[in-house]
């Protein structure tokens, strides 16, 4: 849920701002909508985690994974609200001033979300005490590599200059 519902949709939202055909306004609306859906699914995922922790009587927010994840989620929500305020309602001057900061913060938050996912995979790995050559350990490793490569390719797609 947290990868497909949060990280994957945020990656698509980042890509949509530059790759979706249509007007700039259309791309902004798609970008904003994908982020909104990602935040909603992130809320559902966080609620599921807290409910599960309550069911098994574990302490909440004790690991590095949870700290990075909750911090990232809160900052993504703030970034979305700032984007909503400045990018949709602000003057042309405020939008042009905020745009580089919005882009840089968005890319940083995207990698913070990926970092949270990778630390979550490692937490799961150690929690169930998998042996090194167990098949599930390979699945966890390949999933982690796929998430990391997804992040790298999204970032490269928006960060590298376009050549005509």
- Percent of the chain having pLDDT more than 70? 95
HEC states along the chain?
Answer: CHHHHHHHHHHHHHHHHHHCCCCHHHHHHHHHHHHHHHHHHHHHHHHHHHHHHHHCCCCCCCCHHHHHHHHHHHHHHHHHHHHHHHHHHCCHHHHHHHHHHHHHHHHHHHHHHHHHHHHHHHHHHHHCCCCCCCHHHHHHHHHHHHHHHHHHHHHHHHHCCCCC
pLDDT digits (tens, 9 = 90+) for 80-139: 999 888 877 778 888 888 889 999 999 999 999 999 999 999 988 887 775 566 778 888
What is the CATH topology of the domain spanning 2-159?
1.20.120
Q: Quick one: which of 118, 159, 130, 145 has its CA closest to 14?
A: 159
Quick check: 3 and 147 in contact, CB under 8 A?
yes
Q: Which residue has the higher pLDDT, 61 or 1?
A: 61
The whole-angstrom separation of Cα 126 and Cα 131 is: 10
Residues 57-61: what's their mean pLDDT? 86
- State pTM to two decimals: 0.88
pLDDT > 60? residue 164: no
Task: Residue 42: name the closest of 91, 81, 3, 83 by CA.
Answer: 3
| Percent of the chain residues topping a pLDDT of 90 | 56
Least confident of 37-46, 75-84, 134-143: 134-143
């Amino acid at each position: 849920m947290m990868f497909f519902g949060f990280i994957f949709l945020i990656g698509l939202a980042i890509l949509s701002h530059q790759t979706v055909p249509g007007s700039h306004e259309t791309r902004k609306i798609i970008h904003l909508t994908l982020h909104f859906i990602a935040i909603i699914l992130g809320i559902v995922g966080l609620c599921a985690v807290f409910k599960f922790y309550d069911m098994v009587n574990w302490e909440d927010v004790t690991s590095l994974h949870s700290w990075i994840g909750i911090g990232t989620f809160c900052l993504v929500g703030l970034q979305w609200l700032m984007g909503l305020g400045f990018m949709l309602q602000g003057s042309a001057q405020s939008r042009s001033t905020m745009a580089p900061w919005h882009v840089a913060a968005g890319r940083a938050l995207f990698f913070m979300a990926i970092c949270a996912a990778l630390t979550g995979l490692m937490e799961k790995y150690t929690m169930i005490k998998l042996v090194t050559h167990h098949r599930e350990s390979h699945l966890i490793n390949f999933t982690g590599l796929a998430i990391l490569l997804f992040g790298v390719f999204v970032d490269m797609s928006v960060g590298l200059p376009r050549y005509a």
